[in-house]
Amino acid sequence: MNILICGVGGQGTILASKILAESAVIDGSDVARTGETIGMSQRGGSVVSHVRTEKTSSPYIPKGTADLLIAFEKCEAARCLPFLKPGGKAVVSLSEIKPVAVSIGVMAYDAAAMESYIKTYAESIFIDTERLAAPFMDGKCTNTLLLGAAFGKGYINISENAVKKAMEKLIKPRFLDVNIMAFEAGIAAVRE
């Protein structure tokens, strides 16, 4: 599987990508690869993580071949859509984070156009992360909640058990329970 995770620097995309790679390993894969954006873009720029669970040499997903897009922000979802294969799935946060250039009026942010573009091209589900993730550390668990939503829809062929084990390994003990609750809330949200 080719999974692309995108968002805004600081939203926690890297943890989501690590959880996926680690859970693939727990499920017995020894070929999982990820490619991260770590550096200047972490300061509120566009960030993308590539996750590949089948045998490849490079961690970077070619355009038009991602099976799944998990987007933490609407505009970033639209930006990464060219990576999705035709008929690919997209789990998209309804959150709109306006770049400073938009706030000061230098650029425009057309949320409706972005949303319809995503809907036209991908089998997509939009998640109200601001509302759903609010109970879990004031939105700090958006990443695990969105992972839950993708699992709940059956978009990821890794076992739920492996994901929870990966979370145990990667998340500090004091933040583990709340993240597992957010993950489960994500699953419940799409099964309602």
Partner 1 sequence: MKINLLGNGAIAMGAIAAGVGFAAGYPGTPSTEILETLKSNENAKDIHIEWSTNEKAAVEAGAGAAYSGVRTLVTMKQVGLNVASDPVMCLSYIGVKGGMVIVSADDPGPISSQTEQDTRSFGAYAHLTVLDPSSPEEAYEMTKYAFELSEKLSRPVILRPTTKVCHASATVDVTDEVYAVSPDGFVKDPKWVIFPPLSYKRHIENFKIYNNLGECSYNRVITAETDIGIVTGGVTTAIVTDVLTDLGVKVNRLTVGRPYPFPTTEAAAFAAGLTKILVLEELDPFIEEQLERIVKTPICGKYSEHVPAAGELKYENVKNIICNFLGINAPETVSVNSNVTLPTRAPVLCAGCPHRASFYAVKLASKGKKAVYCGDIGCYTLGNAKPLETTDTCLCMGGGITVAQGIKTANPDTDVFSFIGDSTFFASGMTGVANAVYNKHNITICILDNRTTAMTGGQPHPGKGVTITGEETVHIDIAKVLTALNVGFVKECNPFELDSAVKTVTEAAEFPGVSAVVFKAPCIAVSKKPCSYEVFDCIGCKRCINELGCPAISLAEEKAVIDPVMCYGCSICETVCKPGKIRMIGGLSV
Q: What does the binding site for partner 1 look like in residue numbers (CB under 8 A)?
A: 8-10, 18, 21-22, 25, 29-46, 56-60, 62-64, 75-76, 78-79, 81-86, 97-104, 106-110, 113-114, 117, 121, 137-140
CB of 19 to partner 1, least distance (A): 10
34: Cα separation from own chain's centroid: 13
85: Cα separation from own chain's centroid: 16
Question: For residues 45 and 154, which CB has a smaller minimum distance to partner 1 in the complex?
Answer: 45
The position carrying tokens 């355009």 is: 63
CB of 142 to partner 1, least distance (A): 9
Question: For residues 152 and 162, which CB has a smaller minimum distance to partner 1 in the complex?
Answer: 162
CB of 130 to partner 1, least distance (A): 8
CB of 120 to partner 1, least distance (A): 9
CA–CA separation, 168 vs 164, rounded Å? 6
DSSP string computed for 93-149: E------HHHHTTSS---HHHHHHHHHHHSEEEEE-HHHHHTTTGGGTTHHHHHHHH
Question: For residues 63 and 191, which CB has a smaller minimum distance to partner 1 in the complex?
Answer: 63
Question: For residues 58 and 191, which CB has a smaller minimum distance to partner 1 in the complex?
Answer: 58
Going by C-alpha positions, the residue among 157, 160, 158 that lies closest to residue 187 is: 160
